[in-house]
A and B are shown apart, each in its own frame.
Chain A
Amino acid sequence: MQVTMTVNGDEVAAEIEGRTLLVHFLRDQLRLTGTHWGCDTSNCGTCVVWLDGEPVKSCTVLAAMAGGHEVRTVEGLETEDGLDPVQQGFMQCHGLQCGFCTPGMMMTARALLDRNPDPDEQEIREAISGQICRCTGYATIVRSVRWAATHADGVQPEPVGSTS
């Protein structure tokens, strides 16, 4: 069957099966591999993307269901203006190690801050409680989100490249 949707602002049309999962559509057909998968039972959250602005587990959404709707992935966080404060916060506060859960965490964090620009620690922990990280122990993720909340315009120069 045919499906049309908007992904990171671009209209996309493709041929899928009825059963094609959104996560596979994004990764395998659109080659947007920033969204991951890590389980079979909708528990891990490495697949979180936005559907019409809300975080969803894309392993439990059919690509067909997203037809006619707007999808945003981690690849859509950075704009011409630069990295999202959430992305910067994760770097500044060591909110990632292996990076596998990170896209999902950042998408949820961005959605949280859009609705609640000043969440406290408990609110942040609750917001990410449907997503698992094996590396960080969560405290640095909380800090990363707090950094983004307190540096909403926070455009720190990106720490890459040669210093000389």
Chain B
Amino acid sequence: MQVPAPFEYERATSVDQAIGLLERLGSTARLVAGGHSLLPMMKLRLANFEYLIDINDLHAELGYIAVEPGQVRVGAMTRHRELLESDELVAAFPIFRDAERVIADPVVRNRGTIGGSLCQADPSEDLSAVCTTLDASCVIRGPRGERVVSMNEFYRGPYETAVGDDEILTEIRLPIRPGGSSAYYKVDRRAGDWAVVSAGAALWLDGGLISDARVGLAAVGPNTTGIPAISEALRGSPPSEDIYRRAGEIAAASCQPVTDMRGSAEYKRHLADELTRRALRTAVGRIAGGSRPQEEG
């Protein structure tokens, strides 16, 4: 098996202590949580760091799903498995369970964290699309204190986020608005594979009309974790197959997929359309009928 190049191991005892270490060690250091993105890259020697700062002990501080009036706060160290199993989270945001069921595999989900996934910012990674769809904000703490950024500001592009070298993502805040639901669809070649294309949708109805709709895609190119043009096109209309079709068309037109072993650009564009429709349709169905684990077509 391939193995990482040598590095020093440090273990963080608290968030502030982790920040202190980052400050002292600079860009030669990297935080490691679940490690299932970072360690494989280091084994293949695609990434090398002199220091790894293990923040798994911060799960006590940063592993939580707190449902409050108007928002759900998720600690950055919350494991994928915890997100999947949280009935409270799925009640507020069914999209999370839809997505977590098909992120990596059950054993990896015991270790991987939402913070790790968001900060890795792999262009095929699902939680960035989920969080953008839910209009999340990210709480980042550093030596100069805490700041809150929107997902648009947080996610800057492939492998790039707003988190500085001496900062740590601590919390993700998900606003709860009445009359809404959400859903996620992912096509992969095999269980556990990266997405060929994923689409998440969140939709709110008021008096039978769409008061807001948000769609986010994964694995189809930059600037697709959120697609404002869809929100604009859908607001004010009643949900219908026609509306879903229109959203799908915009999704397909907004993405720049590349042809690779997962699929052709043409197919991915088609999926952006198809999965957007399914996600919207399911989200609407959930507003009407109450949320259930994904089975609807």
- Asked if B107 is at the interface of the complex by the 8 Å CB criterion, the answer is yes
Which A residues are CB-close (under 8 A) to B40?
A: 40-42, 60
Which B residues are CB-close (under 8 A) to A61?
A: 35, 39, 111
Bound form: Cα–Cα A101–B61 in Å:
36
Chain B 74-116 per-residue mask, 1 if CB under 8 angstroms from chain A, else 0: 0000000000000000000000000000001111101100000
**A62-B106 in contact given A18-B8, A40-B1 (Cβ < 8 Å):** no
Which A residues are CB-close (under 8 A) to B54?
A: 62, 64-65
Q: Which residue from B6, B43, B192 sits with its C-beta under 8 Å from A130?
A: B192
Are A40 and B44 in contact, CB atoms less than 8 angstroms apart?
yes
User: How many of A's residues come within 8 Å of B, CB to CB?
Assistant: 33
**A130-B1 in contact given A62-B52, A65-B56 (Cβ < 8 Å):** no
Chain B 4-39 per-residue mask, 1 if CB under 8 angstroms from chain A, else 0: 111111010000000000000000000010011001
Chain A residue nearest to B193 (CB atoms) is: A43
Are A48 and B35 in contact, CB atoms less than 8 angstroms apart?
no
Chain A residue nearest to B10 (CB atoms) is: A18
**A60-B36 in contact given A55-B107, A130-B192 (Cβ < 8 Å):** yes
Are A40 and B108 in contact, CB atoms less than 8 angstroms apart?
no
Which A residues are CB-close (under 8 A) to B60?
A: none
Place the interface of chain B in its size category. Answer: 20 to 34
Which A residues are CB-close (under 8 A) to B5?
A: 19
Which A residues are CB-close (under 8 A) to B192?
A: 43, 129-130
* Most B CB within 10 A of own CB, among A18, A23, A37: A18
Chain B residue nearest to A69 (CB atoms) is: B56
Bound form: Cα–Cα A48–B52 in Å:
23
- Asked if A102 is at the interface of the complex by the 8 Å CB criterion, the answer is no
Which A residues are CB-close (under 8 A) to B43?
A: 40
Number of A-B residue pairs, CB cutoff 8 Å, is 88
- Asked if B191 is at the interface of the complex by the 8 Å CB criterion, the answer is yes
8 A Cβ contacts from A124-148 to B: 126-127, 129-131
Bound form: Cα–Cα A56–B42 in Å:
18
Chain A 30-43 per-residue mask, 1 if CB under 8 angstroms from chain B, else 0: 00000001011111
Least distance between A123 CB and chain B CB atoms (Å): 10
Bound form: Cα–Cα A45–B192 in Å:
12
Which A residues are CB-close (under 8 A) to B105?
A: 45, 129-131
- Asked if A54 is at the interface of the complex by the 8 Å CB criterion, the answer is yes
Are B107 and A62 in contact, CB atoms less than 8 angstroms apart?
no
Bound form: Cα–Cα A43–B105 in Å:
9
Chain B residue nearest to A67 (CB atoms) is: B11
Are A56 and B110 in contact, CB atoms less than 8 angstroms apart?
yes
Chain A residue nearest to B110 (CB atoms) is: A54
- Asked if B47 is at the interface of the complex by the 8 Å CB criterion, the answer is no
Bound form: Cα–Cα A127–B5 in Å:
32
- Asked if B3 is at the interface of the complex by the 8 Å CB criterion, the answer is yes
**A19-B4 in contact given A42-B36, A62-B39 (Cβ < 8 Å):** yes
Which B residues are CB-close (under 8 A) to A64?
A: 9, 11, 54
**A18-B1 in contact given A56-B110, A130-B108 (Cβ < 8 Å):** no
Are B36 and A18 in contact, CB atoms less than 8 angstroms apart?
no
8 A Cβ contacts from A99-125 to B: 108
Which A residues are CB-close (under 8 A) to B7?
A: 18-19
Q: Which residue from A1, A17, A42, A51 sits with its C-beta under 8 Å from B108?
A: A42
Are A130 and B106 in contact, CB atoms less than 8 angstroms apart?
yes
- Asked if A93 is at the interface of the complex by the 8 Å CB criterion, the answer is no
A-B contact pairs, 15 of them (CB 8 A): A19-B6, A19-B42, A24-B3, A39-B1, A41-B44, A42-B40, A57-B36, A57-B111, A60-B111, A61-B39, A62-B9, A65-B56, A108-B106, A108-B107, A127-B106
Q: Which 9 A-B pairs have the closest CB atoms?
A: A130-B105, A18-B9, A64-B9, A130-B107, A19-B4, A40-B2, A54-B110, A129-B191, A55-B107
